[in-house]
Each structure stands twice: as C-alpha cells, then as structure tokens.
Amino acid sequence: MTIQYLRKVSIAIADGTGQNALDFKDFRCVFSVRRGDIQTPNSADVRIYNLSDQTVNLITKKNIEFTQLVIQAGYEGNFGVIFRGQIKQARAGREDQKDSYVDITAADGDEAYSFALCAFSLAAGTKPPDEVAAFVQTMIDQGVTNGYIPALSSNGRVRGRVYFGRTRDELRDWSEANGVLWSIQDGKLTLIPKTGFIPGDVPIISPSTGMIGVPEQTQNGLKLRVLLNPLLKIGQKIQLQSKNVNQLRFGLDRSSQTLNAPLAGFTRLNADGVYYVMQADHTGDTRGTEYYTDLTCLAIDASISPAGGATLSTKSEIFPVDGGVQGGG
C-alpha cells in the first residue's frame, strides 16, 4: 500500500521542443484536470499566483514561446503525470491588491482533434491494426502518437475504402464499427474495447488507501473521491473495497421509471467491487486543502435491457478476440 504523505507537485510550461521549461512548483498553484474516455480532448485549468512582470509577459505574450503544459502531482513515492497538453490561452489578472495571477487553459490533443485530416484510401484486405496506423499518421504532425491499442480483428476489409474528412469523424465511425472507444490520453491515441478495459495493475480503493467519504451511485455511474492519485487512469479496472455505497433513488411515477430504465446499466453496482474508470478529474491547491481525484466508474459485467428490446453491455472481463470483430467495410 502506498502511503499518501508529503504532497508533491510540478507544474511546468515548455516550448514546442520541450527543452526550455519553467517549473512553478514553489509558487501557489491551483489546478483542475478533466479526463474521460470520450473523444473530446482532456483539458486543464491552472492558476499561478504572484509571478514577476517579466514572467507574466513571457507566458501571456501573443507570440507565446511556451506552448506545452505538463502537470505532475501526487505524494512522495506516488508521483506522476496527470496532464500533458497544449496551451490554448494564458491570461493575467488580479484577485485583490495583494495577489495577482496568471490563468492557463490547456487541452490534450486539441490540435489533432480540430485540424487533423484524412485523405487516403485502403485496399481490400487491409486489417484493423493497419487502419489504426493510417489514422495515427494523419495526427503525427499535431503531436499525437500511438497509445494503447487492444487486440483487434485479424479479418481484412471486404472491399477497399476511401477516407476523406476530419480524422475525428472518420475515427468515430471506425471505432463504432470495431467495438472500441477512442480518445487522446497524454498525446497518444488510445482505443479501449467497449466490452473491456486496459490491462495492468488494479488499484485498490478503500479508506486505508485514500478514499474520502462514501461512494455515491448516480445516473452517470458510481462516483467516488480519493486523495489525489496519478495511478488512476482512464480505461483501467479498479477494486473498490467498501461495502458502503449511497444508492440512487428513482422517481415512482411512470414517466420517471420509463426514463430511468435505460440508465440502470450505468447505475448498476458490482457485488465484487470491480469497476471501470470512465472519468477521472484531478483538483489541487498547493497552499490549500483541495487535493483530490474524483472518479466516475461503471460496474464491470453489468448489462441492461433498455426499451426496444436491445441489450446494451457496459463493461465485461472479456476482451474481443481475433476474429470477433468485423474489420469494417
């Protein structure tokens, strides 16, 4: 068990090469990081207090030299990156006569999401891993590279296909056809099976490992708060060791029951405490009490039968195997 003791933070901005950097770990910094398994870029907001006029000008000038933001946080013995992305805006301000600040807003993979374009064709017989490589190639100039890619079908395309348009739109259609979710995590294209999760160590969530309060069942999934933990990643499996969960109350009228029935899979609890991390938000204040990670999770092996008779699976222990997913076309 990692002891959550002695906070450690590094908030650095750097130029495009990553060589020239400024680290504000010794200043008061307040940060908020939002991460999820959806295609919309992860984002971060940072407020840095009481910088010199010269440093403020370096950060906020129009032809900004510093374009990258990297936030590392945690504790001694458990310290790591919680955000890496491009600075989209930097602005100066003042709270009162004593305290000035610079606010920085950044996004992870925003340029690739906004501007990457597809203009290529793939021959019949092309396999899904080769299609992924072609998508990544369109985003390399915007700084996005390969991340976690699960085992995909070994079946080739039945017919050739021309891809033309924004990469994000083509990836959305391709991901739907291949049973995966796509997102950009720390500058890397990440694919997560709709019926699986990213393999690796399974963090234990309990009062003794930093859990704060009582987990809350909501219409969007199970929400819980822990002391800030950089090991908690999007798409991974966690083990909740707590029998106490505040359960959701649905309305008793017919309309409420009808509306909430399709949400049952998202609100489902797992008897074994096994959950998939769908959203992870990190907040911190280097001079205050705020220093948390807020998770929204889905129960693994839960499924629902919504109106219309179709079955929607949330997450299962089973990964798609070769030959189990059609390769488009």
Alpha-helix residue ranges (DSSP H) falling in 32-154? 53-60, 110-115, 128-139
Q: Mean pLDDT over all residues of the chain?
A: 86
Question: Cα separation of 103 and 13, whole Å?
Answer: 12
128-139 helix and 167-178 helix, angle to the nearest 10 degrees: 160
Q: Is 152 helix (H, G, I), strand (E, B) or coil?
A: coil
Which of 62-76, 186-200, 251-265 bottoms out in mean pLDDT, i.e. has the lowest?
Answer: 251-265
Q: Which two tokens stand for residue 82?
A: 């919680």
| Residue indicated by tokens 């969960």 | 245
What band does 255 get if pLDDT is binned at 50, 70 and 90? low
Q: Which two tokens stand for residue 233?
A: 């990643």
Q: Which two tokens stand for residue 133?
A: 């490589």
- CATH classification number, 112-193, choose in 3.30.420.130, 3.90.1150.10, 3.40.50.1360, 3.55.50.10: 3.55.50.10
pLDDT tens for residues 168-208?
A: 999 999 999 999 999 999 999 999 998 889 999 999 999 99
- pLDDT value of position 128: 94
150 and 199 in contact (C-beta within 8 Å)? no
CATH architecture for residues 7-110: Beta Barrel (2.40)
How are beta strands 274-285 and 237-240 bridged, if at all?
A: antiparallel
CA atoms within 13 A on the CB side of 259: 8
pLDDT at 87 over 90: yes
Can you tell me the mean pLDDT for 245-271? 70
Share of the chain above pLDDT 70, in %: 84
Share of the chain above pLDDT 90, in %: 69
pLDDT tens for residues 129-171?
A: 999 999 999 999 999 999 999 999 888 888 999 999 999 999 9
Q: Which amino acid is at 127?
A: K
Q: Domain coordinates of the chain in residue numbers?
A: 7-110, 112-193, 204-313
- pLDDT value of position 264: 59
| Residue indicated by tokens 């002695």 | 6
- pLDDT value of position 303: 39
Question: Cα separation of 94 and 143, whole Å?
Answer: 34
What element of type H or E holds 168? Answer: helix 167-178
Question: Cα separation of 258 and 254, whole Å?
Answer: 6
Start-to-end Cα distance in the chain: 48
- pLDDT value of position 90: 93
41 and 113 in contact (C-beta within 8 Å)? yes
Question: Cα separation of 316 and 295, whole Å?
Answer: 19
pLDDT at 315 over 70: no
pLDDT tens for residues 37-54?
A: 999 999 999 999 999 999
- pLDDT value of position 308: 31
Measured CA distances, 126 to 38, 83, 85, 108, 268 (Å): 26, 34, 32, 30, 39
Question: Cα separation of 164 and 121, whole Å?
Answer: 8
Measured CA distances, 99 to 48, 49, 102, 134, 188 (Å): 10, 7, 10, 49, 37
What band does 310 get if pLDDT is binned at 50, 70 and 90? very low
Question: Cα separation of 161 and 293, whole Å?
Answer: 43
Nearest to 297 by CA among 314, 313, 275: 275
Nearest to 161 by CA among 192, 191, 190, 127: 127
92 and 56 in contact (C-beta within 8 Å)? yes
pLDDT at 262 over 90: no
